[in-house]
Amino acid sequence: MSAWWLRIVNALFFFALPLTCYAQQPSGKLSVVTSFAKDVTDPVKKAFEAANPAVTLDVQNRNTNAGVKFLEETRSNNQVDLFWASAPDAFEVLKSKSLLQNYKPKATGIPEKIGQFPINDPQGYYFGFAASGYGIMWNERYAKANKLPDPKEWQDLTSPQYFDHVSIAAPSRSGTTHLTIETILQGEGWAKGWATVRRMAGNFREVTERSFGVPEAVNSGQIGYGIVIDFFAFSSQASGFPVKFVYPSVTAIVPANIGIVANAPNKGAAEAFVDFLLSPAGQNLLFDPRIRRLPVNPAAYDKAPAGYPNPFTDPRLNSMVKFDVKKSEARNDAVDTLFDQTITFQLADLKEAAKAINEVEQALAKKSNPQAKALLDEAIAQMTAVPITEEQASSPEISGAFSGGKGKKGARQAELEQQWASFAKEHNAAARAKAAEALKLAK
């Protein structure tokens, strides 16, 4: 016979066990602010709620900017549990404003990086649960009507035949596009990278202010070629649009992230959700043709459909030599603003210069002329010049201009913007002049 107290302890233990299970079982309403489309959230919601019947997932769909602002404004009585979006820049902002909370997910087997790109925030405030690659998407009917060849590399888009046929989202509006540009800059070097970007930009028809604007236009056939994230292309194809996609040899891996909001009302369920996404069940969901993301757990690829890209083994997704995250972050605002001031808001001007250069190139293709070629090279150098050096881009003066505050040395943001815009304008004009000279000789 056990002592009476032992029996009580036993009984308590007996009752407590299910209670503890109950306490750990997530329940109630789980509120998510996300920028992902219904195509993604619906299947995940269904699977998660099936695995956790006591939880209801309430999805609030907002674009990333609106979502960040919303969290900022409602922090005093936060009702949101999770923030679920693509690019890490939004998460960095939230982290810096202490709007996220720390967590250590239970999932195992998830490496620190895919290729050269880190998957998670080192401090554990947000986690990558999927990845995607960037590439080129185009409309077959458009290409056929305009008799254009299929592109393969970023460099292809700089050739004159694609003039006025290409589109991209502004890096300042699309974190994932920003990473792609940064990849080009780090891969080819500052000056050469900007040269590629600017020559490509010369062929742009438009620079959209939201990521989805690019695939949308390609789907309609309004634009021929778009620089897009891969799942846009695949989901378009799944919907029947006549589009094709290619990964260039060197491309960016862009993650999709999730983070738990500080002071989340339903922390337990939030953590369960994160764990679910990183679990094998969650990772497998990513193969759904409506979702079409790349799992971050290498083991998941055992169950992948045939031909599915594997970033851990595919050389195109894995060949980035070295991606310096710190450098990318330090010059984040500078790169965004450079792009906007010299390309996005100067597009008409830039295209004039590009057109002039293209004409010369086409003339020289027919009949070569070394003098003209020399002038052409000068013109190209003018058009692709960058107002600041790489060191300046990361310098405290310049990043200070963007964060602002009293007593900072150096120019204000508005002044920098005006300087860079004028720089571009002047150089475009010079490029046009040189190209005109070259054309005269080439004809």
Partner 1 sequence: MTAVEFGSGGKGAAAPRAAFRAGWGQLAIGLLVLAFLLVFLVWPVATVIWVAFTEKGSSSFTLTNFADFARTDLFIRSLWNSFYASAMAVVGASMLALPLAYLTTRYVFRGAKLVQVLGFLPLIMPPFVGAVALQLFFGRNGSVNLLLDDWIGIKIPFMEGLNGVIFVQSIHYFPFILVNLTTALQNLDRSMEEAAQNLGSHGFRLFRRIVFPLALPGYVAGASLVFVKVFDDLATPLLLNVKDMLAPQAYLRVTSIGIADPMGYVISVVLIVASVAAMWASSLATRNIDYATLQRGGGGHAKRELKSLSAVLAYALVFVIIALVLAPHVALLLLSFATVWSFSPLPDGFTVAHYVRVFSDSAGLIKNTLLYATLAGLIDIIVGTAISYLVLRSKIAGARALDLLATAALAVPGVVLGIGYLRAFYDIRLWDGTSLASAWIVIVIALAIRRLPYALRACYAALQQISASLEEAAENLGATKGATIRRIVIPLMTGGLVAGFVTSFATAAVELSATLMLVQTDANAPLAYGLYVFMQSASGRGPGAALGVIAVLIVAVGVVVSQRVAERTRRIDNGSLGN
Footprint (CB under 8 A) of partner 1, residues 76-95: 76-77, 79, 89-90, 92-93
Which uninterrupted H or E stretch holds 135? Answer: strand 126-139
The window from 150-158, 352-360, 365-373, 416-424 that contacts partner 1 (CB under 8 A) reads: 416-424
Find the binder of partner 1 among 134, 154, 241, 323 (CB under 8 A): 241
Instruction: Tell me the helices (H) and strands (E) count for the chain, helix number first.
Output: 19, 13
At position 301, the amino acid (one-letter code) is Y
Q: How far apart are the C-alpha atoms of 341 and 318, rounded to whole Å?
A: 32
238 lies in the binding site for partner 1 (CB under 8 A): yes
Q: How far is the CB of 218 from partner 1 (least distance, A)?
A: 9
Q: How far is the CB of 118 from partner 1 (least distance, A)?
A: 19
265 lies in the binding site for partner 1 (CB under 8 A): no
98 lies in the binding site for partner 1 (CB under 8 A): no
Q: Is residue 8 classed exposed, middle or buried when 0-12, 13-18 and 19+ CB atoms within 10 A define those classes?
A: exposed
Find the binder of partner 1 among 8, 415, 426, 443 (CB under 8 A): 415
Q: Is residue 358 classed exposed, middle or buried when 0-12, 13-18 and 19+ CB atoms within 10 A define those classes?
A: buried
66 lies in the binding site for partner 1 (CB under 8 A): yes
User: Minimal CA–CA distance to 345: which of 353, 335, 337?
Assistant: 337
312 lies in the binding site for partner 1 (CB under 8 A): no
The window from 60-68, 101-109, 374-382, 389-397 that contacts partner 1 (CB under 8 A) reads: 60-68
Q: How far apart are the C-alpha atoms of 137 and 166, rounded to whole Å?
A: 10
Q: What character string, x for contact with partner 1 (CB under 8 A) and - otherwise, covers 316-345?
A: ----------------xx-------x--xx
Q: How far apart are the C-alpha atoms of 286 and 288, rounded to whole Å?
A: 5
68 lies in the binding site for partner 1 (CB under 8 A): yes
The window from 236-244, 280-288, 294-302, 382-390 that contacts partner 1 (CB under 8 A) reads: 236-244
Whole-number Cα distances in Å, 438 to 40, 274, 348, 369 = 52, 60, 22, 9
The window from 101-109, 147-155, 217-225, 248-256 that contacts partner 1 (CB under 8 A) reads: 217-225
Which CB atom, from 182 or from 250, has the smaller least distance to partner 1?
Answer: 182
Tokens 């509120």, located at residue: 31
- The footprint of partner 1 on residues 140-169 (CB under 8 A) is 141-142, 145
Tokens 């040395």, located at residue: 409
The window from 122-130, 191-199, 389-397, 406-414 that contacts partner 1 (CB under 8 A) reads: 406-414
423 lies in the binding site for partner 1 (CB under 8 A): no
Find the binder of partner 1 among 219, 257, 279, 384 (CB under 8 A): 219
* Count of residues interacting with partner 1 (CB under 8 A): 76
For residues 255 and 176, the answer to whether their CB atoms sit within 8 Å is: no
397 lies in the binding site for partner 1 (CB under 8 A): no
355 lies in the binding site for partner 1 (CB under 8 A): no
Find the binder of partner 1 among 235, 358, 384, 428 (CB under 8 A): 235
220 lies in the binding site for partner 1 (CB under 8 A): yes
- The footprint of partner 1 on residues 275-294 (CB under 8 A) is 290
First to last CA, the chain: 110
352 lies in the binding site for partner 1 (CB under 8 A): no
Q: How far apart are the C-alpha atoms of 443 and 441, rounded to whole Å?
A: 6
Tokens 């990473």, located at residue: 179
Rounded CA Rg of the chain: 26
Find the binder of partner 1 among 122, 240, 315, 370 (CB under 8 A): 240
Find the binder of partner 1 among 160, 242, 265, 268 (CB under 8 A): 242
Sign of CA dihedral 403, 383, 346, 248: negative
Find the binder of partner 1 among 192, 303, 412, 443 (CB under 8 A): 412
Q: How many CA atoms does the CB half-sphere of 73 hold within 13 Å?
A: 6
Q: How far is the CB of 164 from partner 1 (least distance, A)?
A: 9
For residues 167 and 205, the answer to whether their CB atoms sit within 8 Å is: yes
Q: Which residues of 395-421 are buried (b: 16+ CB within 10 A; e: fewer)?
A: beebbbbeeeeeeeeeeeeeebbeebb
Give bridge partners of residue 32 from the DSSP assignment: 59, 82
Which uninterrupted H or E stretch holds 324? Answer: none
395 lies in the binding site for partner 1 (CB under 8 A): no
Q: How far is the CB of 101 from partner 1 (least distance, A)?
A: 20
215 lies in the binding site for partner 1 (CB under 8 A): yes
Find the binder of partner 1 among 103, 247, 287, 402 (CB under 8 A): 402
For residues 55 and 31, the answer to whether their CB atoms sit within 8 Å is: no
